[in-house]
């Protein structure tokens, strides 16, 4: 359907779009086929290159790398969401000093590259006498960078809500903190869920930067196994396996976002049906009362 920013294509445009989609699909399939043929021609699919995955010790190391990746992602995601919620509320505060401090923190950590943050935590803090493990350095970097991005996402979601929501809450005597925590943030989270999930996908992939500080995650595993001479240095096969695992994890997050959106639509539809049923019942009772009055 058409809206302000999009016009529904006509018959010719739809045909043109289908032709372009088919052409783009063929080009993409050709590129994938060429890359696959090059891998095959260079011997990347030989049994010798893939025998590493048959060893139990390597399978256990792979599982441990997946667990380490998920641990960094889980803690980093929780802390980033909390960081984003707190500093989004700070940027929306009525107190100017709090707004300025929150804005400075968000803009600072959003501007600094994540890799530099990780290096500062792992290599910089020991010079001040504060030694940090690779795991905590990765988690703190993920929290600060992605939390700053999520703070802006939450702030935009809250500002996009109708002002009547907060005005009605203030009219009931609620304080600003209660309005923010109980009224605005839950609605902003639901409306911004696709954007939040997209940022969490970015956070999941950013855990791969941990291999630069020897954190034993998936990319570190691929680097270590891919350089093994006894398996003919199977870097491409291990990279393909690790890439498939990353794709699977990202697809799970995408599925979660789709599930939450469908569940929200069902709940909204259920509420609308209940409201409609209540209104219809009230109209029937009103009509019956009016008919009875006319009879008397």
How many Å apart are CA 70 and CA 249, to the nearest integer?
A: 9
In a domain, 120, yes or no: yes
CATH for 123: 1.10.3720.10
Has residue 160 got a pLDDT over 90? no
Confidence of residue 76 (pLDDT cuts 50, 70, 90): very high
- How does DSSP classify residue 4? T
Cα diameter, the chain: 100
In a domain, 225, yes or no: no
Query: Tell me: the pLDDT tens digits for 125-136?
Result: 888 888 889 999
- The answer to whether 229 and 99 are in contact (CB under 8 A) is no
In a domain, 170, yes or no: yes
Query: Tell me: the pLDDT tens digits for 88-106?
Result: 888 888 888 999 999 999 9
Quote the pTM value: 0.77
In a domain, 119, yes or no: yes
How many Å apart are CA 138 and CA 76, to the nearest integer?
A: 8
How many Å apart are CA 149 and CA 184, to the nearest integer?
A: 19
Average pLDDT, stretch 26-43?
90
250: left (phi over 0), alpha (psi -120 to 50) or beta: alpha
- Per-residue burial over 207-230, b if 16 or more Cβ lie within 10 Å, else e, is bbbbbebebbbbbbbbeebbeeee
Q: DSSP of 12-31, one letter per residue? A: HHHHHHHHHHHHHHHHHHHH
- Partners of 3 in the β-ladder: 6
In a domain, 153, yes or no: yes
In a domain, 252, yes or no: no
How many Å apart are CA 10 and CA 5, to the nearest integer?
A: 16
In a domain, 45, yes or no: no
In a domain, 181, yes or no: yes
Query: Tell me: the pLDDT tens digits for 212-260?
Result: 998 989 988 888 888 877 777 788 888 889 999 999 998 988 888 778 7
- The answer to whether 87 and 143 are in contact (CB under 8 A) is no
User: Which domain, by its residues, includes 127?
Assistant: 58-217
- The answer to whether 134 and 210 are in contact (CB under 8 A) is yes
Number of domain units in the chain: 1
Phi, psi of 3 (to 5 degrees): -140, -165
């Amino acid at each position: 359907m058409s809206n302000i920013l999009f016009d529904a294509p006509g018959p010719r445009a739809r045909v043109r779009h289908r032709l372009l989609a088919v052409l783009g699909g063929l080009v993409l399939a050709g590129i994938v086929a060429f890359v696959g043929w090059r891998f095959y021609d260079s011997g990347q699919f030989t049994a010798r290159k893939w025998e590493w995955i048959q060893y139990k010790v390597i399978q256990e190391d792979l599982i441990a790398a997946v667990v380490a990746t998920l641990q960094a992602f889980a803690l980093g995601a929780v802390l980033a969401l909390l960081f984003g919620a707190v500093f989004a509320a700070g940027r929306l505060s009525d107190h100017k000093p709090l707004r300025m401090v929150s804005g400075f923190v968000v803009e600072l950590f959003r501007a600094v590259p994540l890799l530099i943050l990780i290096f500062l935590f792992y290599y910089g803090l020991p010079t001040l006498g504060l030694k940090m493990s690779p795991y905590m350095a990765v988690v703190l970097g993920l929290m600060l960078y992605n939390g700053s991005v999520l703070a802006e996402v939450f702030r935009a979601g809250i500002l996009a809500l109708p002002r009547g929501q907060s005005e009605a809450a203030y009219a009931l005597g609620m304080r600003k903190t209660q309005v923010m925590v109980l009224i605005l943030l839950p609605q902003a989270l639901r409306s911004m869920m696709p954007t939040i999930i997209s940022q969490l996908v970015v956070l999941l992939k950013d855990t791969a930067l941990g291999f630069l500080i020897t954190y034993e995650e998936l990319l570190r595993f691929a680097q270590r196994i891919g350089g093994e001479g006894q398996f003919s240095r199977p870097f491409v096969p291990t990279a393909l396996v690790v890439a498939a695992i990353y794709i699977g994890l990202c697809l799970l997050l995408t599925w979660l976002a789709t599930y939450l959106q469908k569940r929200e639509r069902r709940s909204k539809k259920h509420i609308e049906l209940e409201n409609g049923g209540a209104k219809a019942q009230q109209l029937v009772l009103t009509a019956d009362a009016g008919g009875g009055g006319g009879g008397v």
